[in-house]
Each structure stands twice: as structure tokens, then as C-alpha cells.
Amino acid sequence: MLYREAGQFKSTYASDMVVFRLKEDRAGLAVIILMAYALAFMGSDFLLQAVLIPFLVFALAAIGLNLLTGYAGQLSLGTGAFMGVGAYACYKLMTAFPDINVIVWILVSGFFSAAVGTLFGLPSLRIKGFYLAVATLAAQFFLQWCFIRIPWLVNYNVSGALDAPLRTLFGVPVVGATATPQTRYIVVLTLVIVLTWVASNLVRGRIGRMWIAVRDMDLAAELMGIRLLQTKLLAFAVSSYYCGVAGALMVFLWYGGAEYDVFNINQSFFILFMVIIGGLGSLIGSFFGAALIFIMPILLGIVLPIMLAPFGIAIGAETIEHLRFMIVGALIIFFLIVEPHGLARLWQIGKQKLLVWPFPY
């Protein structure tokens, strides 16, 4: 009886158009955000470094891809490369202008991947669906080639890898070897919350409606005065911005340095899976998808050896990696068959059920 729509009347359109129309939902969100911040102080370093930070980074990248594929309906297999553009741009910027705060550069680096994403989005006017997927593969392989072949991008490092120089925020190290997982987690969490809020603003307004219109029925959208190219390019730009920021966060606030190989095609696929399993066209689904695809294998790595130990079966890290592939693959097929709209739809159904509980409808 705690969760009811009845009795919550809206007297203005503005209050009727907020994300969470029910006060219970709003309270729930506040609790989750508070708990997320509290985890910075209560969670172990392992939890922060190996679970929560990567989860947030992947969720951000998944939101980026979801804006493009889920909302605007343009399939992209180049996410990894767009993340790479953000990371390399951020590296160049923060080493060229070390005095300006690194958070600024992380946010600015997204604009570089937005520009590159827009460029590779240009073919989307003429080509659709699978064909477009191949165009984004061109982006994936071409950009990855650039990361390898242009030493200028890594300031002619002999190793060819990105490293994380020490950068501080209010005197506290946030990037570099001395930055604690706690600080990095708080920075990542804050950025992800802000960017998620911005994304939700976009998708609820005119731009989001235009994206969905183009996805659902592009010809009708065009006959209603929506310019297809601009709308699609905007989706590519915003999506790549998010991916770029996620890429910068991944390298500098999670790994603390990386090689070109982390932006390979498998990364693109993994983020696509997060989006599919989480739910195309759902922001909250991006979080669910990231959680399932990223955290599930970690749990598997912990749980499986314990479960199999009594039978005397030792299970290597490699086998777990193989099982991870299999399980991810099986999950994708399973979800597509059972619920093509992903975890987000299950979540919605659950909430709907709760609204009318204990009655069936």
C-alpha cells in the first residue's frame, strides 16, 4: 500500500511532465543516490576499483550508445573507437594544458569524439540498418589504426600507451597513481549522475521525440518537417560525446593508463550487449545492462570456484573467461526471446504490478 498512483494529482503541465510522477519514485531515487555516495566511504577499495567505477563507466558508455541505437535507431558498432577518441583527446589536452582542471578536459574531450562521430554519421542519410553498421565498422577499424599509427597522440611515448599523469581537484589527486579509489569513484559517480540527468532531459523533450520519430517511422517523420540528416547527426554527436567522456573516464579514472587495444571491436560489442540486454531506448536499462554484463562475470568468478570446490573440480581463470562468453551469449538469446525490450521492460512491469498490488490489475 506504500506505492500508489491514486491521490497524487497534478495541477500544472510542468509537474505532470517530470521524470518521476510519483513521489515514491522520487524518494526511491534520492535514497539510491545517497547510498551510492555512502558507498564511497563504506565500500572496500576492491569494490570501488574493480566493480563500481567500471560499472559506472560502462553505464555511461551504454547510455551514449543507447541514445544513438535505442532512441534514434541507428545501429553502431564503433562505440569502442569513439570512446578511444575521447580518451586520446583528453590525454592530449591535459598534457598540453596541465594547469586547467582535468574535469574540464574530460568534459571537453567528449566534443572531439562528438565531432568524429558526426563525421562517421554522415553516411546515415543514405544508408540504413545493417549497411550503417558496416559504416560504423569502418570508423572502428580506421580509428583504431590511427591510435596505433599516430605516435603524436601519445606524445611519442616509447610504450605507445596512454599514461595518467598526476592531476588534482581542490588539491586532492583525482588522476594519477596517487589518486585513491574513493576520490575517483566520487568524481565518476558525480559526472555520471549529471550526464544521466542531461540525457533524460534530452530524451523527454523535442529532441528525444524527434529521435524516436526517426527510429519508428523515418518517412513519416520527414513528412512532418523533421530533417532526417540533422536529427541523426545530432544523435551521433550526442552519443559520441557520452562515449568519449566514458572513454576518458575509463582510461584516467579507472585503468590509470591504457593501450589502444582497450578500444577494440570487442569493447564495441560488449557495450552493444549492455544496451540490448538492458533495453533499447531506456536510460535506466543502460544501468541494468552494464550491471548484468559487467558484474555478472565477476560474481561468476567468485561463486563458481566455491560451488565446484566440494566436487574437487578446480576451475581456472581462463575457463571462467570462456564461460563468461558463453553466458553472455546465452543471455542475449534468452532475453531476445523472452523479453526483446530488455531488463528495463521487466522493471516497468514490476513497477506496474506493484502499483496495483495486491490485485492483479
* Near other proteins in 286-325, by CB under 8 A: 318-319, 321-325
Name the segment binding other proteins (CB under 8 A); options: 43-51, 180-188, 194-202, 246-254: 194-202
327 touching other proteins, by CB under 8 A: yes
**Could you say whether residue 326 binds other proteins (CB under 8 A)?**
yes
Q: Does 331 bind other proteins (CB under 8 A)?
A: yes
Q: How far is CA 23 from CA 2, 6, 284, 287, in A?
A: 11, 11, 18, 22
> ω before 358 within 30° of 0 (cis)?
yes
Nearest to residue 189, comparing CAs of 295, 56, 286, 294?
A: 56
Nearest CA-CA partner of 74 in 217, 219, 215: 215
Binding test (CB under 8 A) with other proteins, winner from 8, 157, 178, 201: 201
**Least distance between other proteins and beta carbon 216 (Å):** 4
Task: Select from 143-151, 171-179, 181-189, 307-315 the region that touches other proteins (CB under 8 A).
Answer: 143-151
Please state the closest distance from residue 214 (CB atom) to other proteins, in A: 9
**Assigned C-alpha cell, 157:** 611515448
Distance CA 200, CA 194 (A): 10
Query: Among residues 168 and 348, whose Cβ is nearest to other proteins?
Result: 348
Give the other-Cβ count within 10 Å of 302's Cβ.
11
What cell does 333 get?
538469446
Give me the phi and psi of 73, to 5 degrees please.
Answer: 75, 20
Nearer residue to other proteins within complex by CB, 184 or 341: 341
Nearer to other proteins, 7 or 171 (CB): 7
Task: Check binding of 328 to other proteins (CB under 8 A).
Answer: yes
* Dihedral sign computed on CA atoms, order 288, 294, 299, 305: positive
- The answer to the question of residue 138 lying near other proteins (CB under 8 A) is yes
- Residue list 82-121, contact with other proteins (CB under 8 A): none
Judged by CB under 8 A, the stretch of 31-39, 58-66, 203-211, 246-254 that binds other proteins is: 203-211
149, 177, 352, 356: which one binds other proteins (CB under 8 A): 149
Q: Is 134 near other proteins (CB under 8 A)? A: yes
- Contacts of residues 31-40 at CB distance under 8 Å and 24 or more positions apart, as own/partner, are 33/193, 36/189, 37/186, 37/189, 39/185, 40/182, 40/185, 40/186, 40/189
Contact 275, 65 (CB under 8 A): yes
Closer residue to other proteins (CB): 40 or 212:
212
Contacting other proteins within 14-73 (CB under 8 A): 14, 16-17
Interface map 258-287 toward other proteins (x if CB under 8 A): -------x---x--xx--x----x------
How many other CB atoms sit within 10 Å of the CB of residue 78?
Answer: 32
Please, what is the minimum distance in Å from the beta carbon of residue 177 to other proteins?
Answer: 32
Size of site (CB under 8 A) for other proteins: 72
- Residue 204 lies near other proteins (rule: CB under 8 A): yes
**CA atoms of 165 and 170, how far apart (whole Å):** 16
